[in-house]
Structure 1
Amino acid sequence: MTQSKKTFIIAEAGVNHNGSIKLAHELVDAAISAGADAVKFQSFIASAIVTADASKAEYQIANTGSSESQLKMLQSLELSQQQQRELYEYCKSRGIQFLSTPFDSASLEF
């Protein structure tokens, strides 16, 4: 092997912003500091992927307790389309590629 190609590194931010655009910006900055080429979030509308009576998974209960439903928990982690646009622009201004995994049809079309 004589050719050397740079590995493309994607930092997985997921929903670790906890629904906060400020924290999402901090995750972008951390990805840049770590040398990532892209940072990936998750796009979803909670009510489109979870029913109101859906139970939380065991790991979700362990991490967030059982007082709120899975729907309420996921709603607290949503970023609106406007927030996602802002996050995209923030990534662009900082020189890192924005990626997002869509979990429903509307998020895919966005």
Structure 2
Amino acid sequence: MLPLFRAGDTALVSSSRLRRGDCAVYRAGGRALLHRVAGFAGGRAVLRDDGWELPPHAVHPRQILGRVVSRNPLKSGLAGYAWFLSRGLLKWLRKTRPRGTEPDRS
């Protein structure tokens, strides 16, 4: 996925729905790989690398781990670390809030 991703880069991955143009992380041959979504056909995602060195290939949805939402989120130092922790904390708080209770927004 050069030039967007280089060896040693980290990626924050979300399990949200894939769209054309997203970078998808998927499993193939026991490895996690990263390619761009070129489209969808026959219930599969059609992926290709950014360098166009490999032909497009279809991947079954069970192979897909998620889509990349951020590249190198922790390289920005303390701000990146705080952002990473706050996302996890917010998700946890949303899960633990009792149903039917909404915060007072007035």
Q: Could you say which structure has the higher helix fraction? A: 1
Higher relative contact order (Cα pairs below 8 Å, separated by 6+ residues)? 1
Query: Per residue, is there more strand in 1 or in 2?
Result: 2
TM class, shorter-chain normalised?
A: under 0.3
User: Taking structure 1 as the reference length, what is the TM-score of the superposition?
Assistant: 0.23
Under a length normalisation based on structure 2, what TM-score does the superposition of the two structures give?
A: 0.23
Instruction: Find the structure with the greater CA-based Rg.
Output: 2
